[in-house]
Chain A
Amino acid sequence: ETGVTQTPRHLVMGMTNKKSLKCEQHLGHNAMYWYKQSAKKPLELMFVYNFKEQTENNSVPSRFSPECPNSSHLFLHLHTLQPEDSALYLCASSQEEGGSSIQPQHFGDGTRLSIL
C-alpha cells in the first residue's frame, strides 16, 4: 500500500489530445514532485512544489503544465505532446523541514504514458 496514489496507471493519447495526470499523497507531506522516467535514462526532475508554491521548473516544455491546488494533490496537464514524451511519469512527496535536513521522497506507482 503506497501513501502516494497516481491515476491513471496507463494512458494512451494522440498528439492533439488534452489529458491530465493526477497524484494524491496521504502522508501529510508539504512538498510534491513530478519526475519523468524514460528508457535507458536517469529519472529527470520536472517540477517541485513546496507548500503549494512551485519552486522548481527544470526547463520543462510548456506543453506540460503542473497544478498544485493543495499540499495533498498534484496534477500534470498535458497538451499537444510529442512521441518523445512517451515515458513513465512518477509523482513523489516529502516532508520539507527547513534547515539542512533532507527527508526521503516517497513515490507513487507512476503513469505509463504513450503518445501515438
Chain B
Amino acid sequence: AQTVTQSQPEMSVQEAETVTLSCTYDTSESDYYLFWYKQPPSRQMILVIRQEAYKQQNATENRFSVNFQKAAKSFSLKISDSQLGDAAMYFCAYSTLLQGGSEKLVFGKGTKLTVNP
C-alpha cells in the first residue's frame, strides 16, 4: 500500500523569506502523480501544485516549486517570498488509479505553516 510521510508537523517562516516543506512517499508503482494541497482555516482544500512522476522537470507555479526526487521518493515544496496568506495546513498527496478508473488520493498528516510578519 502507498504511504505518504510529512515529517514536519509544524513550520514557521518570516514574511518574504523562503521555506521548504518535506514529503516522502512509498510506492512500488512507476507511474503516478503527486500533489500539494493547502487547507486554510476556511477548510477548503486547495490545489497548490502537481507533479507527474514520468516528468523529470520539477513543477513550478509562481512562488511555489517542488523538488521531485523519484529515486529517493521525495517530493518537497518550496515557497518563495512567503506571504501572510500562505499560512495554512499543507498536505502532500500521492495519486493512483483504482481498478474502476477512478483516482485514489493518499494524504500525509500535514504540515502547519505559520508566516510571521
Q: Return 18 A-B CB contacts under 8 Å, by A number.
A: A2-B44, A42-B106, A45-B106, A48-B104, A50-B101, A53-B100, A55-B98, A55-B99, A56-B102, A88-B43, A100-B31, A100-B97, A102-B33, A102-B95, A102-B97, A105-B47, A109-B42, A110-B44
> Are A96 and B102 in contact, with the CB atoms below 8 A?
yes
Smallest distance from the beta carbon of A10 to chain B beta carbons, Å?
A: 11
Q: How many residues of A contact B (CB 8 A)?
A: 31
B45 within 8 A of A: yes
Check B109 against A109 for contact (C-beta < 8 Å): no
Contact B103 A94 (CB under 8 A): yes
Are B44 and A108 interface neighbours, CB within 8 A?
yes
Chain B interface residues (CB < 8 Å from chain A) = 4, 31, 33, 35, 37, 42-47, 50, 91, 95-110
In the complex, what distance in Å separates the CA atom of A110 from the CA atom of B98? 24
CB atoms of A104 and B47 under 8 A apart: yes
B65 to chain A minimum Cβ distance, whole angstroms, is: 17
Q: Are A109 and B43 in contact (CB under 8 A)?
A: yes
In the complex, what residues of B have CB within 8 A of residue A33's CB?
102, 105
Chain A residues positioned under 8 Å from B91 (CB to CB): 42-43
